[in-house]
């Protein structure tokens, strides 16, 4: 397992570092513009994780899409299998590297936001740590279900060749799911069982940050959290089953 993780990180670690640099630049720019351009105040900057949660989501969509999506990636996975790694090991090596990438983005964001709050905003808005923690918690839950859902569909879609096509497909899966969720909001009031459809849980992050969104999802907080985790595990297991069943791509 460790060897497969090392080889996976060697292939994808550079992209993660580049994304981390872009994320850091984004947070710094938002902080400076917020402080000197009156675009965002100290409280909103801190409580929204420097608005980095949106960027982290986009970066994770890209990485999740590339974990199994392009022909280049499938050839790499086949090479790992040919070198004697079990399919289960190869699969979870991709998952672990993806999780480490997310942990890197999140830790980087937290440290930078606190640093910008103390320096650029002169310590203003630091009293709202409760909301700050909720945003982090909600982002973690959302990234789990979103990434696993994308991985499941990317393992299923074997015909994708280019990296850009894989990225576009992954992003499309996420926003397509959100579109289905919004349509579901029109019917969930009279048909409460629809609140358990998986795409509804893509809205859990927004609900945790803004509890008023419960009126849309009709999920109570324990349901929103536990359901997101359960669906994330289900998507992961389904993706693993598909990965084990499918034959390696011919190089």
pLDDT in tens, 112-144: 999 999 888 887 877 777 888 889 999 999 999
pLDDT of residue 248: 58
d(CA 80, CA 154): 19
Backbone angles phi, psi at 38, to 5 degrees: 55, 35
| CA proximity to 116, closest of 52, 60, 54, 55 | 52
pTM reported for the whole predicted model: 0.91
Name the phi and psi angles at 124, rounded to 5.
-70, 150
Cα(150)–Cα(241) distance, rounded to whole angstroms?
15
pLDDT on residue 153: 94
> In the block, which residue shows the tokens 């320096």?
119
Residue 198 CB neighbours (<10 A):
18
Which pLDDT score, from 0 to 100, does residue 250 have?
A: 54
Tell me the C-alpha distance between 138 and 206, whole Å. 8
Closest-CA residue to 141 (of 193, 187, 203, 94)? 203
Enumerate residue ranges in the chain where pLDDT < 50: none
User: What local confidence, expressed as pLDDT, does residue 66 receive?
Assistant: 92
Single out the residue of 106, 88, 196, 194 nearest to residue 147, CA to CA: 106
Compute the C-alpha angle 200/206/209, nearest 5°.
Answer: 140
Q: What pLDDT is attached to residue 147?
A: 96
């Amino acid at each position: 397992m460790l060897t497969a993780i090392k080889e996976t990180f060697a292939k994808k670690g550079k992209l993660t570092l580049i994304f981390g640099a872009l994320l850091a630049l984004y947070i710094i720019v938002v902080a400076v513009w917020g402080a000197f351009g009156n675009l965002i105040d100290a409280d909103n900057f801190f409580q929204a994780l420097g608005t980095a949660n949106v960027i982290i989501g986009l970066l994770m969509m890209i990485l999740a899409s590339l974990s199994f999506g392009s022909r280049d990636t499938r050839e790499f996975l086949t090479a790992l299998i040919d070198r004697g790694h079990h399919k289960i090991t190869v699969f979870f090596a991709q998952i672990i590297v993806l999780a480490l990438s997310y942990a890197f983005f999140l830790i980087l964001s937290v440290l930078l936001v606190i640093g910008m709050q103390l320096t650029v905003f002169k310590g203003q808005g630091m009293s709202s740590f409760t909301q700050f923690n909720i945003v982090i918690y909600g982002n973690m839950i959302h990234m789990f279900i979103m990434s696993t859902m994308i991985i499941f569909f990317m393992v299923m879609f074997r015909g994708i060749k280019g990296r850009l096509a894989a990225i576009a497909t992954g992003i499309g899966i996420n926003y397509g799911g959100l579109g289905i969720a919004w349509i579901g909001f029109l019917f969930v009031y009279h048909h409460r069982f629809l609140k358990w459809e998986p795409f509804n849980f893509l809205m859990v992050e927004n609900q945790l940050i803004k509890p008023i969104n419960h009126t849309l999802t009709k999920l109570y907080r324990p349901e929103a959290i536990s359901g997101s985790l359960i669906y994330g595990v289900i998507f992961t297991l389904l993706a693993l089953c598909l990965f084990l069943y499918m034959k390696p791509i011919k190089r």
